[in-house]
Chains A and B, each alone.
Chain A
Amino acid sequence: MFDTLARVATLTIKELLAIFKDPRGRLTLFVPPIMQCLIFGYAATYNLNRVPYAVLDQDRSAASQDLLARLDGSGVFYRVANLGNNADIDRYIDRREALFVLAIASDFERRLQMGLPADVQVIADGRNSNTAGTSQGYLQAIVAQFNADWRARHAMPEPPIRVESRAWFNPNLETRWNMVPAMIGTLTMLQTLLVTALSVARERENGTFDQLLVTPFRPLELLAGKALPSLFIGFVQATTVLLVAQLWFQIPFAGSFITLYAGLTLFLLAAIGIGLFVSSVVGTMQQALLFTFVLVLPFTLLSGLATPISSMPRVLQYVTLANPLRYAIDLTHRVYLEGAPLWNLRGDLWPLALIAFVTLSAATWMFRHRLG
């Protein structure tokens, strides 16, 4: 038993030495996660804050000016042009100079005064329909406020229902609060998989694997000695991202670190199992790199990070059940933003434990099989 532990420790130390000795290796441990975290934190936002629009105001009344002033004063919309006629609309939309054109008919104020519905028309650039949709949401809110004020000023009755809306855990609905904590799982998965998959492939390519195999190492000890450094690296990277999230982006951490790291341990084990499996299948470093990448992309896309899982077709929703990243992201969000205790996370924890068990067993089997 002691011999086994000592051998595993020896191999672990060697792996870490090999990674940390090389200055470029050290850099790759920290620079990519931090850079990616910053890119995602700043760029990956569905919130809009600079929406160019053009207006075709055929009314030119006090009411239409009031509505436009509200748009311009929103801090989100900025007017790029006042159009003279319908033909100009095409130009501004086609050339992407405006995200939408707001057309106000010449009877706008007259209809309002008469108490009739007075609709405005919006022509939006649907090339990115998500952006267009979001901007429409903002616009609707401004129009709703305009309506409420108009009704109040003209003593019109209020609508019978007021919707009072509140968002839990992310009161300002910032995409960043969603993205950055999710990076803890996403980035660590990529790096852990790469490091694990490459570690055996590199030894195979350099011929050192044979040298290892003639020593008293047992297959399980080799696996453990390869898994532990990856686990360590996973923790280092997770911590790096966590620090960026808290210190740089100042996203408040609501939960307990112990809970978070407990969950991450299971997740990392699942990822390491996949990495070891890849490394037991491939022959060269190039294959290890490419196969890892081929796996990581679908894992990321099916994690619910970029697009919601509930919007996927039923079949794909089932596929996501086997995706460790799905649980990791959910778990991080819940610990980070909601402060969920361990017991509430059981729905994430047991699938992760199961996936870890399956991938590690499969890797062990493949290892024995390939050696045999």
Chain B
Amino acid sequence: MDPVAADAAVFVARQLRKTFRRKTGEIVRALDDISLAVRSGTVTALAGPDGAGKTTLLRLAAGLIAADSGSLDVLGIDVAAEPQQVQDSIGYMPQRFGLYEDLSVRENLNLYADLHGVPAAQRRERYPRLMEMTALGPFAGRLAGQLSGGMKQKLGLACTLVRSPRLLLLDEPTVGVDPLSRRELWAIIQQLAREQKLTVLLSTAYLDEAQRCDEAIVLHQGHILAQGGAAQVSQLAEGRTFLVEPGPGQAARLLQARLLDEPSVVDAVPEGGRVRFVTATQDNRAAVARLPAGTEVAPTSPRFEDGFMILLRQTGAERAQVQGLPLAVPHEAADSEPVVQVQDLLRKFGSFTAVDHLSFEVRRGEVFGLLGPNGAGKTTTFRMLCGLLPATGGTLRVAGADLRTAGASARQRIGYVAQKFSLYGQLTVLENLEFFCGAYNLHAARQRERVNWALDQFELRPFKNLPSEQLPGGYKQRLAMAVALMHEPAILFLDEPTSGVDPLARREFWQRITALAEQGVTVIVTTHFMEEAEYCDRVAILDAGRILAQGTPAELRARAESSEVGEPTMEETFIAVVEQARGDKAKQQEDRQAGGTIAVGPDWHWLPPKLRRTRALVQKEARQMLRDPSSIAIGIVLPVILILLFGYGLSLDVKNVPLAVVMEEPSPDAVDLAAGFQLSPYFDTLTLTTMAEARRMMLDRQIDAIVLIRENFGRQLNQGDADVQLLVHGTDANRARIIEVYSEGAIGRWTARRSAQGLPVVAGPVGIRDRLWFNEANESRYFLVPGLIVLIMTLIGAFLTALVMAREWERGTLEALFVTPVRSGEILLGKTIPNFVLGMIGLVLCVLTARFLFHVPLRGSIWLLTASSMLYLVVALGIGLLISTAVKSQFLASQITILITFLPALMLSGFLFDLRSMPAFVRTITYILPARYFVAILQTVFLAGDVWSVILPALGVLTCMAVLLLFVVRLVTHKRLA
């Protein structure tokens, strides 16, 4: 079949190629000239191991990245040419749906409904359905950041499904989602496809999901291995799949290990207490020979997964040979001694009980599985066991100690793999391994040995110099696992270690786990892949913080068997147990939370779509701002502190200068002169008799100046030629100069006083009569307080804007936002309007305090002041947006913003320092600084009035800058991922 010729195709790729360059310089072909088509109204699965190109294909389709060559038409539109048109009509859920963690479930959902322009009527119909799927109804008011990992994923999904687009692109939508919710999700997807003729293209790591799809595309390293009906893939394994029943006392695990040793066996997994295996040909004799004599082998019907494994094996992909992960010091063999004991464990968050009197025990060398729906309390239990979170009640012992209170050495015995990849992304694989070795006290030769062990065992050697954030998904998991094993812990805690890991890597992973357990390592693991529970020795099923059932997988299956026809799979068992427990309780809950579904907000349908979306973004931004104490701190608290400091405290005026008058001889004239200093308001005068003492005080910086009156002063004065020495501390040059002037003034006044008393004195002849226009009282606060407006506007406009925008890039919240009808201009507006308002609040604060608290005159017009401030604020916002778009990192954005906006506003604007006296090249630079023009306007409007000849040119320049900046920002902001 020529895929491209398929009619009614909504998704047609021709010779599509996309390559990436790793930081190491290596070129990776993510998609290698692939051609495919997706028929309208079908649900199509994209399956393939890590690095197959699934995410790349979906991102290309969403217009988030550009292809190197080839073409891609989505809904008949060329994505490369018209990405926005495609984004208007598709739904897209990225692998990491960047929820706004400081918005509630309801607010996140309403935001996306607003952005997609979902009318209220449709929301009323859709919301309850989504809540049913996600079971998030009771948590509608909770902040997304406080949801469990799986609940976040479900919320992301709900946000994507708020409307029914013609094409839905889902990138691993069910990672970390529990089986109950997955079932609901599939019901929705199939309903949408059936009733609304929706086309769905989704990538998945659950191969049973691929089996449910109409069509499947198997990708491998950028190539298509198979494309067509999902059943066609299953048929590849026809006649090659078998089940073996282990004999009495035989562990299924053991049979599996033996089968995997046989090269002709493509795959072997435990299933319902038996082992399912797939052979390369229909001939299974070689495999059977590996089994103990008399073991029963029965053929069984093939699944998608079996065909998938055969396809992959045909590409020559070797099954990883996992050696038994030999530990240097094997732990004692499995025995019945409990190493983890949990009694009545309780954990509350406020009124919410996350873990409700949990009790269980895990024996040494056991693999213990914790299963449960999202939000059941699994991660909370883990964190308490690892000592990361204190328990509200109950006792827990891990290797005989409570890790919360036990010393550091107790932690040496545990290893922990968190739900989310949490190693140092910018450090290489090798550096991460070495760091954790050091953390576990492994040094020198022992460290080298362990690092080599990890590199070999986990096949990380080819990547050892790659920053770990650039590792392909499965390898990240391996690295996390390696890190947790560096110190050969006796107990291993694994929180959803296989979420988002491809089927091949998952098999290797479990081989390693079982190998470790054989050597006496105790493993506690959570998973949402129910078939993986088969690997566990014992399993506990949790819901709402309680244990519903506990036992071996076989025991649990037996419990569910009575209610179901035939033998239930582990997944069916799980669903049965949870539903049975919820049973009538759920009914009660429904009654109690009749209103627990999400209130449908107003849909603002009377606004044009552009404004409607902008309004939603502004509201989102404003909420985030109000909830984050730090934006309030920078937007309101800091301006107030600055105003009060400058208004009350800081002044360049010199007063209370500590000064010593050294009188070597207390003659009447000398005493009189000293008194002249004492009278001056500028000095705190101290009278000394020796120069040595004064010198010492000056060196100790207790005084800033010395007036030395020598012993023959009186005599000299009578001769009309006395000299007084003035020594000032020159460190603070400006102040020293003023002290000089004031001292000379004090002496001058004393001389004048003497002359008035009829003694001979001559002053002048030329004197200076000063008049200081605009600031007659010579108060520095007159120019400092208005000048603050420039600082505050710069802080809020440029600094805060750069930060909040860079945060979106850094947290990856933009990917989902991009694939909505939102235009980039609207995103920019949404960011800037709240900051603009905050800046104007700062202006009002400044003007009010300046006017009424500090009595700074406002001689010009308030409207002119407002208009020019708004203009400057726009310029500052533009700079902030530009910086954040360029660097996409909060740390760098803040550094750059301080350097190119805040410091110049403080130093190079004429606010404090005279521009004309700066060196020519610095002066030239100031001409391109917007702050310079704004300060000129501020000082003039406040103190001089509406002097148009100063104001008009400055306004003109600011306007040009604003227009230019907005233009450039608009130009560089694409809805594209880097």
Which A residues lie at the B interface, using CB under 8 A? 3, 6-7, 9-11, 13-14, 17-18, 21-22, 24, 28, 31-32, 35-36, 39-40, 42-52, 67, 93-96, 99, 111-112, 115-134, 136-137, 139-140, 143, 146-147, 150-151, 156-171, 173-175, 177-178, 190, 194, 198, 206-208, 210-218, 282, 284-287, 289-291, 293-294, 297-298, 301-302, 306-308, 310-313, 316, 330, 333-334, 337-338, 340, 344, 347, 372
Supposing A14-B427, A18-B424, A133-B778 touch, asked if A117 and B768 sit within 8 A by C-beta, the answer is no
Q: List 28 A-B contacts (CB under 8 A).
A: A10-B439, A11-B435, A36-B903, A39-B907, A44-B913, A45-B917, A46-B914, A94-B949, A117-B764, A123-B771, A123-B773, A125-B774, A129-B780, A134-B734, A147-B765, A156-B762, A157-B762, A160-B720, A160-B751, A161-B717, A165-B740, A167-B728, A173-B737, A211-B416, A285-B807, A306-B912, A310-B704, A311-B655
Q: Within 8 Å of chain A (Cβ to Cβ): is B973?
A: no
Partner among A10, A67, A127, A190 whose Cβ is within 8 Å of the Cβ of B775: A127
A163→B892 contact, CB < 8 A: no
Q: Within 8 Å of chain A (Cβ to Cβ): is B763?
A: yes
A10→B425 contact, CB < 8 A: no
Q: Within 8 Å of chain A (Cβ to Cβ): is B779?
A: yes
Supposing A127-B944, A312-B650 touch, asked if A140 and B916 sit within 8 A by C-beta, the answer is no
Supposing A129-B780, A307-B650 touch, asked if A166 and B699 sit within 8 A by C-beta, the answer is no
Task: Indicate the member of A22, A36, A289 with the most B CB atoms within 10 Å.
Answer: A289
Which B residues lie at the A interface, using CB under 8 A? 383, 386-388, 390, 403, 407-409, 411-412, 414-416, 418, 420-427, 431, 435-441, 443, 483, 628-631, 633-634, 637-638, 641-642, 645-646, 648-658, 684, 698-701, 704, 717, 720-738, 740-741, 743-744, 747, 751, 754, 760-776, 778-780, 782-783, 795, 799-800, 803-804, 807, 810, 887, 889-892, 894-895, 898-899, 903-904, 907-908, 910, 912-914, 916-919, 922, 936, 939-940, 943-945, 947, 949-950
Supposing A122-B771, A213-B388 touch, asked if A48 and B727 sit within 8 A by C-beta, the answer is no
B776→A163 contact, CB < 8 A: no
Considering only CB atoms, which chain A residue lies closest to B632 in the complex? A290
User: How far apart sit A163 and B772, CA to CA, in the bound complex (Å)?
Assistant: 27
B409 contact set on A, CB distance < 8 A: 216
User: How far apart sit A52 and B795, CA to CA, in the bound complex (Å)?
Assistant: 32
B630→A170 contact, CB < 8 A: no
A316 contact set on B, CB distance < 8 A: 645, 648-649
Partner among A156, A177, A306 whose Cβ is within 8 Å of the Cβ of B731: A177
* Further pairs besides A39-B903, A96-B940, A216-B408: 8, Cβ < 8 Å: A6-B438, A36-B899, A120-B768, A128-B910, A133-B738, A164-B726, A169-B730, A285-B810
Partner among B684, B724, B782 whose Cβ is within 8 Å of the Cβ of A161: B724
Task: Indicate the member of A40, A126, A190 with the most B CB atoms within 10 Å.
Answer: A126
Supposing A129-B778, A212-B439 touch, asked if A43 and B908 sit within 8 A by C-beta, the answer is yes
B415 contact set on A, CB distance < 8 A: 214
Shortest distance in angstroms between A183's beta carbon and chain B's nearest beta carbon?
11
B656 contact set on A, CB distance < 8 A: 310-311
Partner among B439, B717, B743, B917 whose Cβ is within 8 Å of the Cβ of A217: B439
B768→A166 contact, CB < 8 A: no
Which DSSP category, helix, strand, loop or mixed, fits chain A's interface?
helix
User: How far apart sit A215 and B438, CA to CA, in the bound complex (Å)?
Assistant: 10
B729→A168 contact, CB < 8 A: yes
B761→A308 contact, CB < 8 A: no
Task: Indicate the member of A35, A46, A95 with the most B CB atoms within 10 Å.
Answer: A46
B917→A198 contact, CB < 8 A: no
Shortest distance in angstroms between B436's beta carbon and chain A's nearest beta carbon?
7
Considering only CB atoms, which chain B residue lies closest to A289 in the complex? B894
A338→B699 contact, CB < 8 A: yes
A194 contact set on B, CB distance < 8 A: 891, 894-895
A147→B890 contact, CB < 8 A: no
User: How far apart sit A330 and B700, CA to CA, in the bound complex (Å)?
Assistant: 10
User: How far apart sit A322 and B899, CA to CA, in the bound complex (Å)?
Assistant: 27
A167→B736 contact, CB < 8 A: yes
Shortest distance in angstroms between A298's beta carbon and chain B's nearest beta carbon?
6
A32 contact set on B, CB distance < 8 A: 895, 898-899
A45 contact set on B, CB distance < 8 A: 913, 917-918
Supposing A39-B908, A129-B775 touch, asked if A48 and B768 sit within 8 A by C-beta, the answer is no
B891→A285 contact, CB < 8 A: yes
B648 contact set on A, CB distance < 8 A: 313, 316
Shortest distance in angstroms between A134's beta carbon and chain B's nearest beta carbon?
7
A94→B772 contact, CB < 8 A: no
Task: Indicate the member of B658, B765, B778 with the most A CB atoms within 10 Å.
Answer: B765
Supposing A7-B439, A150-B765 touch, asked if A124 and B642 sit within 8 A by C-beta, the answer is no
User: How far apart sit A126 and B407, CA to CA, in the bound complex (Å)?
Assistant: 67
B724→A136 contact, CB < 8 A: no
Considering only CB atoms, which chain B residue lies closest to A63 in the complex? B766
Partner among A6, A21, A214, A344 whose Cβ is within 8 Å of the Cβ of B414: A214
Supposing A6-B438, A11-B439 touch, asked if A162 and B774 sit within 8 A by C-beta, the answer is no
Considering only CB atoms, which chain B residue lies closest to A22 in the complex? B426
Shortest distance in angstroms between B438's beta carbon and chain A's nearest beta carbon?
3
Shortest distance in angstroms between B865's beta carbon and chain A's nearest beta carbon?
15
B637 contact set on A, CB distance < 8 A: 294
B939 contact set on A, CB distance < 8 A: 127-128
Supposing A214-B388, A333-B731 touch, asked if A52 and B630 sit within 8 A by C-beta, the answer is no
Shortest distance in angstroms between B26's beta carbon and chain A's nearest beta carbon?
18
A214→B386 contact, CB < 8 A: yes
User: How far apart sit A261 and B936, CA to CA, in the bound complex (Å)?
Assistant: 42
B728→A168 contact, CB < 8 A: yes
Partner among A40, A94, A166, A347 whose Cβ is within 8 Å of the Cβ of B944: A94
Partner among A178, A216, A284, A290 whose Cβ is within 8 Å of the Cβ of B412: A216
B907→A286 contact, CB < 8 A: no
Partner among A159, A216, A334 whose Cβ is within 8 Å of the Cβ of B762: A159
Partner among A35, A163, A298, A301 whose Cβ is within 8 Å of the Cβ of B747: A163
A157 contact set on B, CB distance < 8 A: 720, 760, 762
B441→A307 contact, CB < 8 A: no
Task: Indicate the member of A9, A129, A316 with the most B CB atoms within 10 Å.
Answer: A129
B936 contact set on A, CB distance < 8 A: 96
Shortest distance in angstroms between A348's beta carbon and chain B's nearest beta carbon?
9
B803→A10 contact, CB < 8 A: no
User: How far apart sit A285 and B867, CA to CA, in the bound complex (Å)?
Assistant: 34
B722→A169 contact, CB < 8 A: no
A173 contact set on B, CB distance < 8 A: 730, 733, 736-737
User: How far apart sit A347 and B423, CA to CA, in the bound complex (Å)?
Assistant: 46
